Amino acid sequence: MQRIKTIAQLRDLLRPQRERQLGLVPTMGSLHEGHLSLIRQAAAECEQVVVSVFVNPLQFGPDEDLDRYPRNLERDCQLAEEAGADLVFAPGVEEMYPGEGKTTVRVAGLTDRLCGASRPGHFDGVATVVSKLFHIVEPDRAYFGQKDAQQAAVIQQMVRDLNLPVQIITCPTVREENGLALSSRNVYLTPEEKRQATTLYQTLREATREREAGRLCQAEEAVQFIRERLEQTAGLSIDYVEVLSYPGLEPLERLDDSPSIAAVAVYLGSTRLIDNVIWPKRREEDVPHPDEIQNPPSYRN
């Protein structure tokens, strides 16, 4: 008989490492280059890659776009395969939620702020479906986008709190040439709104430059700087602008070398868009910083 005191030891003993690493990329489909960059990274690091495509009703509020959310499974399967996926898991709602579920996974604190404040219950839906997917697929690694930085932080916290045996990998935000972060919801934008939407990243970049030049030293100053510029864009209404610690999402006063996030959410017409940058920028020897990745194919090469 053996006596074991650590979780890592217990796991090594009972559940030896799989020979073939299994990667999971959870998505809601309508795949674009952002999703495909996650799949490519998973394919580069894992022997087997599962992409889930599921528009999760639990994470949509009653007045949100669940019914009109873009869906195209045929195209998704083709793109996922080209990017290196071995399997697409596309369950129906009945398959994921048969009968009335009575269990919700809720990550406290982190989910009260930013998008959690504007979309009550959203992150409970995300944490619940992602933990279900982790149990169903049992991946060694799961890939998420920095574009949804709060989501990545929430999942990371859930994995830590519940000792889920999966490594969370966060991948850089993929953008159009003009800086607009790719999103399935960009299809809702008119050409004019699409042009206005570029202000988001341009403003975050400007704030980054100011911060690097030592001109934004307080979180509140940075918030004001971003807010003032966004307010000048016609047709754009601000949901939130916040500068918080990252990944803890705690309020900050002084901006120093510890990581922080400048996060924005705006409405253009009825479409809600989010974007963020992580500060401070990378040192030269670090991996490419999320915000500097603009050209997905060349990034992978």
Would you name the residues annotated as active-site residues? 35
144 touches ligand AMP by CB under 6 A: yes
Nearer to ligand AMP, 172 or 225 (CB): 172
Output the smallest distance, CB 256 to ligand AMP, in A: 27
Q: 149 is written with which tokens? A: 């930085």
181 touches ligand AMP by CB under 6 A: yes
246 touches ligand AMP by CB under 6 A: no
Q: Which residue, chain included where needed, has tokens 């960059």?
A: 37
- Of the candidate spans 61-69, 89-97, 113-121, 182-190, the one that interacts with ligand AMP by CB under 6 A turns out to be 182-190
- Please state, as a whole number, how many other Cβ atoms lie within 10 Å of the Cβ of residue 226: 24
For 271, phi then psi, to 5°, come to -95, 130
Q: Which residues contact 257 (CB under 8 A, 6 or more apart)?
A: 280
119 touches ligand AMP by CB under 6 A: no
Nearer to ligand AMP, 200 or 223 (CB): 200
Answer yes or no: are the C-beta atoms of 53 and 76 closer than 8 Å: yes
52 touches ligand AMP by CB under 6 A: no
Q: Which residue, chain included where needed, has tokens 């998973």?
A: 42
Point out the annotated binding site: 28-35, 59, 145-148, 151, 174, 182-185
Nearer to ligand AMP, 79 or 219 (CB): 79
59 touches ligand AMP by CB under 6 A: no
Q: Which residues contact 266 (CB under 8 A, 6 or more apart)?
A: 200, 230, 236, 237, 238, 239, 272, 273
Give CA–CA dist 223/211, Å, rounded: 12
184 touches ligand AMP by CB under 6 A: yes
183 touches ligand AMP by CB under 6 A: yes
Output the smallest distance, CB 270 to ligand AMP, in A: 18
- Please state, as a whole number, how many other Cβ atoms lie within 10 Å of the Cβ of residue 131: 19
Q: Sign (positive/negative) of CA torsion 79, 83, 87, 91? A: negative
Q: Of 23, 24, 27, 77, which one interacts with ligand AMP (CB under 6 A)?
A: 27
Q: Which residues contact 146 (CB under 8 A, 6 or more apart)?
A: 152, 170, 171, 172, 173, 276, 278, 290
Point out the annotated binding site for (R)-pantoate: 59, 151
Name the residues that contact ligand AMP, by CB under 6 A.
27-28, 34-35, 37-38, 144-145, 147-148, 171, 173-174, 181-184
